[in-house]
Structures are given as C-alpha cells and as structure tokens.
Amino acid sequence: MIDLEAALAELREQGLHRSTRLVSGPQGPQVLVDGQPVLLLCSNNYLGFADHPRVREAAADAAMRWGVGAGASRVVSGTMTIHDRLEERLAEFERSEACVLFGSGYLANVGVISALAPRGSTVFSDALNHASIVDGCRLARAATFIYEHCDLDHLAWGLRRAPRGGLIVTDSVFSMDGDVAPLAEIVELAAERGARVVVDEAHATGALGPGGRGAVAEAGLEGAVDVIVGTLGKALGSYGAYVCASGVTVEYLVNAARTLIFSTAPPPPAVAGALAALELLCEQPGRVDKLATNAAAMRSALARHGLAVADGRTQIIPLVIGGAAETVALSAAALERGVFVQAIRPPSVAAESSRLRITMMASHSASDVQRAAAAIAAAARAVGVDFRSPGEPARATIGRAA
C-alpha cells in the first residue's frame, strides 16, 4: 500500500509538488490570482472566447433551454439538439464527412486510439505526444512503437518492421514545445504502409491554417488525414472535444469508443458556448492573425531582454530552465512582479527540462507583451537564472525552492 504522506514528502523534496492557485474572474489577459491582479500568460484561451459576451450569452441561453447537464451518455438519452448542431458545424469547419463530440480531449484520444488499434496491430506515437495519447496507447490492445520526436526516419524504420496497417498518432502542435509536426511527410509514410493517421489539433485549431482551421488545413491535407481530434476547451473557449472523420469511422467510434459510450454527454451550456465561439472564429479570422502577431512580439521582446527563445511560430513559447526547483522559483518571482506563468515540471516534460511555458492570447495588448517580457527578465535576474542559448537549458545558481 502506498504511503501517501511519504509520497508527498518525496515530491516536495524533488521540487515536483503541485498545488492549485485561485484565479478570480474570467480567463482574460488580466486576472486576480490569490487576490492580486496579474497578467495571465498560462491560459489556453488563445482567442479570448472564454469570456466573450456572445459565448457567455449562448451558454446562459442553453442552460435555460436545455438544462445544465445532458443527463446520460451519448448512446442512451444524452444526445440533444445542441450536440447535433455543433457536430454538423464542426464537420463543415474541418471539411469532414462527420463529427462526434466527446466529454474532453483526454476522453477523445483515449477512446479513439483504444477503439482503432486492435490486438495484433501497432500504434506509432511521437515521443512528445500529449499524455492522453500516451494513455490511449497503454489502453489499446495493440503494440506501441514510440518514435523519436518528429523523426521521420525513425518512424519509417518502425513502420517497415511492423505488420502493414496500424495507426500513426501525433499532436499537430506539441503542447510543451510549441513546434509543429511534419504532417505531410507522416501522411506520405502512412500511405506507403497502409496505416491510418490520427492528428490531435488541440493547440492548432484557432491558431494555424486558413481561418484557424488548424495545421492539417495549413498543410493542405484536408481529406488525407483519417481522424482529426480537436478540443472545445482551448481556442474555442469552452469545454469538451470532438472527433472528425469519415461517416463510417464516426459510426464505429459511437459503437466502440468506451470513453464515449460510458461517459455522460457534454453539458448543453458548454456545447452552445463552443458553437458560438466557432461562429465568432469564422466571422473574425483576424483574431488568428493577432494571436500570431502577439506570439512573434513576445519572442522578440524576450530576446531583447537576453532570454534565450527557440525559433517558433506558434502561441506556445517555452523557456527551458532545467531543474524543477529553479523553475518553480522563477515562476514565483515572475508572479511577484505581476506575471502569472506556470512552471512545467516532470512528468509533463522530461527530467532536467523543466520550463516556463508561456501561452499567448489574441486579447493581449502590445503593452501587455512588453510588460510581461520585462517582468520575466527581471525575475530571472533576481533568482540567478542565466539564459545561455536556445539549444540548452538555462544555468541556475540558486538553491532548491521551498
């Protein structure tokens, strides 16, 4: 039996203990954290829709019309009019035959992978895929081949040594590094070996591609990717997830994805809020451009302050420190200076690659960007973190954080 107190003490000793911080108010560019006003640089509300008046109104109206909860799973009585509306609209948005909603991105990835990877097949998974993909591979009956991050030669090597077919699964934008998968080349390798391709667009929807349709659309691969997984909880400002695929694939998932069959359907207010956000995205594609502008401005501002920032073009900007305790100390020092940017530590990232993970929003102003970069740089000086180059962790001269 696990000794819980000892396990927690070990996490504290390693600098890996986690606790929640109380955020007051909506997820805007500025929030109250533990009662203090700060700039928010660790939210996935990329386009500012989570607190948009139209999204709020849609959610409130849905609560009055359909109630707060769906009351049952999708395959019992939980599929309501609002679910059908959003699925139709998302299928149009993704240029796909069909769509089905899941309760969360985690449930979607676990359900899709475990349903589409039977015993005797192989799942090919990028080494830096999200934990939901990792857990989906663990629950599938298939074998799993983990290829080095974005390494096409390693993926090709694995495909040649496995039975034909199988499932290649990758994030399109990787959540901790912000880099983009080589989707065109992955699709080409899959075609050569008769494999299906599943792409998780959680951090690309609303951030990349024409009209914010994601990295798949940006690469010109609409119709070439077998399954697209997306989230309602990031750029679309709500909660839940969706899977777009062929009609037969969606029908099969409704019958085989255990995380859909045995979970209550997404609540109507969240679904209606996401539908309103999707309409806003289609009406206001300039928000996608503003997000990219803010991300580029933040990278430039950090570099001007001497902070090493790897090349990138997405809204996710990692500042790799290395040690967990040092990263926690830097996050705390930034918060003292009015900037909330969370320390990301193992197991979310590899050992000795702890980092500050900055996430930009389209709703950040130019002055927000400059103020945040200056505060992070001042915090780094205060705690003795010396950023050297984008290719290696920063040097830290401080001791272990409390």
Q: Which residues are catalytic?
A: 175, 203, 234
> For 284-365, where are the alpha helices, taking DSSP H only?
286-304, 324-336
Would strands 196-200 and 227-231 be described as parallel, antiparallel, or unpaired? Answer: parallel
Q: Which residues contact 187 (CB under 8 A, 6 or more apart)?
A: 197, 221, 224, 225
User: Torsion over CA of 56, 39, 355 and 153, rounded to 10 degrees?
Assistant: 50
| CA dist., res. 381 & res. 375, Å (int) | 10
Count of CA atoms in the C-beta half-sphere (13 A) of 331 = 29
The answer to whether 235 and 49 have CB atoms below 8 angstroms apart is yes
Neighbours of 7 (CB within 10 A): 10
Q: List Cβ neighbours of 255 (8 Å cut-off, separation of 6 or more).
A: 261
How are the residues of the chain apportioned to helix, strand and coil, as percentages rounded to the nearest 5?
40, 20, 40
Are 122 and 160 a contacting pair, CB within 8 Å? Answer: no
Helix intervals (H) in 121-237: 131-139, 152-161, 183-193, 215-218
Helical ranges in 94-173 per DSSP H? 105-116, 131-139, 152-161
